[in-house]
Amino acid sequence: MGLGAKPGGQEQKGREDASALVKWARNNRRALTSTLFLIVMLMGFTMANPEVFSQFKTYRSVMIALPVSMFLVVPLVFVVTAGEIDLSFPSVVGLSSYAFVSIVDQGGEPLLGIVVAIIVGAALGYVNGLLVVRIGLSALVATLGMNFFLRGFINILVEGFSIAIPEIRGAFIHSLMTDDPIKIVDHLGIPNQMLWALAFTALGVFLYNRHSFGVRVHCVGDNPESAAEMGINVDRTRILVFVFTGIGAALAGVFSVMINFVWWPTTGDGLLLPVLAGLFVGGTPTWGGIGTVFGGAIGTSIVAFIETGVIAAGLTGFFTQFFYGLIIILSLIFQRFNGGRVR
């Protein structure tokens, strides 16, 4: 009897494992779809120009600037899941990084500059939250207005002048955040900023999927009335997602300056469309209640590789925006049929 029962137990365990795998794949289908899309896209670019995409330096060149977008897209997943939107992050990047570069330019400690930049970003996010939650403005209109307001304030403040901080090169904090500690091929390596961005993404995945904050965000975006009846502080949760976005924007601004050694009044200006594209391409729909942090990171990678792939394939830069739009539309159409609107 004991020997005869063993195969049956193994068969039952095999069915349970298969069922768990299917359940996991179904729950993560948006992120898996984005990952598959990235792989297929890179394979297509490799076939179009094997000489470029078979070299690690091509991927490293993308990884130098990609972290800036990743610091932005992770908290934006929380905002959109909560049923809101934040379009002010490009200017928050600019003003937060201005706070950082001003302190360093005056001889202050870079670490102090980072702390001040994060405080500025969090404060601006809190203001956005107050405008939307307490005053009751539309998140779309309020944050878009803040984007213009803050950019105008920056221009008035500096009158179009940039600030260079070449003295930060070689400093401990710069080496810690943007140097190449992991050597992969000869003198090529993964930039430190990519490692920091991956750590930030991992934190976002934990908060989103394994922490009570992520549960509250999901509930608020899915049905705020039901969330309030469950005892969730809906207003505080909505404000906190804007604060989190401000912190992400501050980190993006700091890393942008550390990468380039220069702050411009337009810092952050070109991030709006690529980051939003990465957000939606990654599998976070517009209607709230659901999303994927990992998919958002993959989505920004897809967008980051588009321009490189288009040029490497022999097309002109004029095709870049065309492919941006095409990929966004196709991904949204696929999401519409890949999962329902209600969690």
Whether 176 is in a domain gets the answer yes
Q: Which residue has the tokens 């992050």?
A: 89
φ/ψ of residue 184, rounded to 5: -110, -55
Say how far apart CA 303 and CA 277 lie, in whole Å.
7
Instruction: Label residue 265 by pLDDT band (50, 70, 90).
Output: very high
184 has a pLDDT exceeding 60: no
Average pLDDT value for residue range 253-282: 92
Whether 13 is in a domain gets the answer no
Say how far apart CA 342 and CA 106 lie, in whole Å.
52
Whether 285 is in a domain gets the answer yes
Say whether 25 sits in a helix, a strand or coil: helix
Tokens of 202: 């991992």
Say how far apart CA 69 and CA 49 lie, in whole Å.
26
Whether 15 is in a domain gets the answer no
Whether 314 is in a domain gets the answer yes
Number of domains forming the structure of the chain: 1
pLDDT in tens, 307-340: 788 887 777 767 777 877 787 777 677 766 665 5
CATH assignment of the domain containing 230? 1.10.3470
Instruction: Report the length, in residues, of the chain.
Output: 343
Whether 240 is in a domain gets the answer yes
Helices within 49-84 (DSSP H only): 50-53, 56-81
CB atoms within 10 A of CB 208: 22
Mode of pairing for the β-strands spanning 163-164 and 182-185: unpaired
DSSP secondary structure of 84-100: -----HHHHHHHHHHHH
Q: Which domain holds residue 73?
A: 30-337
Percent of the chain residues topping a pLDDT of 90 = 56
Whether 326 is in a domain gets the answer yes
Instruction: Label residue 54 by pLDDT band (50, 70, 90).
Output: confident
Largest Cα separation within the chain, whole Å, is 87
Whether 141 is in a domain gets the answer yes
pLDDT in tens, 6-23: 556 666 666 666 676 777
pLDDT in tens, 207-218: 999 999 999 999
